[in-house]
Amino acid sequence: MVQHTLTPGDLRDLRVEPVKSSVAMEDYSILMNVSWRLRADASVRFLKATKICVTGKSNVQSHSCVRCNYTEAFQTQTRPSGGRWTFSYTGFPVEPNTLYFIGAHNIPNANMNEDPPSMSVNFTSPGCLNHIMKYRKKCIEAGK
């Protein structure tokens, strides 16, 4: 088992919102924009990646994860402008009227018997009457 001398702290301000993405002129997909901030402490120097997992529950249960790698080691606890490091990932598809559980944690993971640096939120996607969701093919076909 790998034992890390130091591991990164937890995430801050995990947020989720649906966004419209245009693949082709009339082919819209609605995706989940997941954003988070990093903790402004020295542990950020050990951060390699953030893993985000989404579980959706409606008629069919879905589960998928993505690992967002940071391309370079962080040299400072905050951005050069002074604010906290903020990131986002857009790519998980969103269905209307679906409950999603979004969990995220930093990598490397905490060692055994240490508190894991993770955060989670629930997100219920709006229905077809929503100004973004109305572009889903399912909503257009339903005439809503």
Beta strands in the chain (DSSP E): 11-24, 27-38, 49-57, 62-69, 86-93, 99-107, 118-124
Q: 7-33, pLDDT tens digit by residue?
A: 677 788 999 999 888 665 455 688 999
Tokens of 46: 């050990």
Torsion of CA 130, 100, 141, 136, to 10 degrees: 60
- CA-CA distance, 96 to 98, in Å (whole number)? 6
Which top CATH class is 11-19+33-126?
A: mainly beta
Query: What pLDDT, on a 0 to 100 scale, did the predictor assign at position 30?
Result: 86
Domain boundaries, the chain: 11-19+33-126
Q: 63-114, pLDDT tens digit by residue?
A: 999 999 999 888 888 888 888 889 999 999 998 899 999 999 988 876 666 6
